[in-house]
């Protein structure tokens, strides 16, 4: 179910309607990463504004240049962590458009969904970003205590959180908030596994630019597959 949904999302890449959302999503993703990088450079410039003097060595004037060059490498490293919240923000911004494109191609008989209000969507986005950032900050303590398990903690935790948000946003369009929560609770394992599938390529530079939009499409397919299975399994179905 998960891989089928992902393959269907990739197969829709040539679709002009899908590409429109994809390239805008990539543009916003790059913009957010560049903004983070500029902020990092500004911090480095502030830290290196005064020469550093060390015993014996004397005054060091090249420290700012070293940090400046090193910042690019640092930013590539940080992008592994930054792409998780960036993906969350991008998904929240573009999921409706992605889901509409997916449903127009694969589920044309479905009625249109009511638009989610801007402030309601913003509240969900900010709330989830807070949970995501807070969880990752707290996880650093576990990374220090259990360094051998850091990779599993990182992907397991972020896979769970991303899967929860992706599915909630996709399902809420047709099930409502409470219906989406109930459906997610019934299929926690599948949603967690799908979230991990999204979290893994978010760690790969350049590839990760495509994942927020592909993830939104994947979870739209996954929601419909789960919804269909639940309807068949229900006594009234």
How high is the pLDDT of residue 147? 86
* For range 27-53, the mean pLDDT: 70
Given pLDDT bands bounded at 50, 70 and 90, which one contains residue 57? Answer: very low
User: Model confidence at 205, in pLDDT bands (50, 70, 90)?
Assistant: confident
Domain ranges of the chain: 2-11+79-233
Identify the CA nearest to 8 among candidates 102, 137, 109. Answer: 102
Instruction: Please say if the pLDDT value at position 41 is more than 90.
Output: no
Cα 8 from Cα 45, distance rounded (Å): 46
Q: Which two tokens stand for residue 98?
A: 């992605």
Residue 225 confidence (pLDDT)? 93
* Residue 4: per-residue pLDDT: 93
For residue 14, the SS3 value is coil
pLDDT the model gives residue 232: 64
The stretch 88-103 carries a mean pLDDT of: 83
**Res 119: pLDDT:** 65
Which tokens in the block code for residue 4?
Answer: 């089928």
Distant-in-sequence, close-in-space partners of 214: CB < 8 Å, separation ≥ 6: 6, 9, 10
In the predicted model, what is the mean pLDDT of residues 47-70?
55
**Range name among 43-47, 50-54, 71-75, 97-101 with the lowest pLDDT average:** 50-54
pLDDT number for residue 103: 92
The residue among 73 and 206 whose pLDDT is bigger is: 206
Tracing tokens 């229900």 back to the chain, one arrives at 234
Q: Between the CA atoms of 56, 59, 63 and 64, what dihedral angle is there, to the nearest 10 degrees? A: 170
Residue 69 has pLDDT above 90, yes or no: no
Which segment of 65-69, 104-108, 194-198 scores lowest on mean pLDDT?
65-69
Report the percentage of the chain scoring pLDDT > 90: 19
According to DSSP, residue 115 is labeled: P
Please state, as a whole number, how many other Cβ atoms lie within 10 Å of the Cβ of residue 149: 12
Please write the tens of the pLDDT for every residue from 207-224. 888 888 898 999 999 999
- Identify the pLDDT of residue 194: 94
pLDDT at 129 over 60: yes
């Amino acid at each position: 179910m998960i891989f089928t949904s992902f393959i269907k999302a990739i197969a829709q890449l040539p679709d002009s309607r899908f590409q429109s959302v994809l390239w805008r999503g990539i543009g916003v993703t790059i913009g957010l990463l560049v903004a983070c990088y500029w902020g990092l450079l500004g911090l480095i410039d502030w830290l290196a504004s005064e020469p550093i003097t060390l015993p014996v060595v004397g005054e060091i004037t090249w420290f700012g240049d070293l940090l400046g060059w090193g910042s690019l490498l640092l930013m590539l490293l940080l992008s592994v962590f930054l792409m998780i919240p960036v993906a969350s923000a991008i998904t929240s911004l573009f999921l409706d458009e992605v889901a509409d494109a997916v449903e127009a191609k694969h589920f044309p008989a479905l009625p249109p969904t009511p638009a989610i209000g801007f402030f309601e969507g913003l509240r969900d986005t900010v709330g989830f970003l807070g949970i995501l950032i807070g969880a990752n900050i707290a996880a650093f303590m576990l990374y220090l205590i259990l360094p051998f398990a850091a990779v599993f903690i990182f992907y397991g935790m972020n896979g769970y959180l991303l899967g929860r948000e992706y599915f909630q946003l996709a399902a809420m369009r047709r099930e409502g908030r409470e219906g989406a929560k109930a459906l997610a609770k019934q299929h926690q394992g599948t949603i967690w596994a799908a979230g991990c599938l999204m979290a893994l390529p978010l760690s790969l530079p350049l590839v990760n630019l495509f994942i927020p939009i592909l993830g939104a499409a994947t979870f739209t397919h996954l929601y419909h597959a789960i919804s269909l299975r639940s309807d068949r399994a229900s006594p009234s179905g």
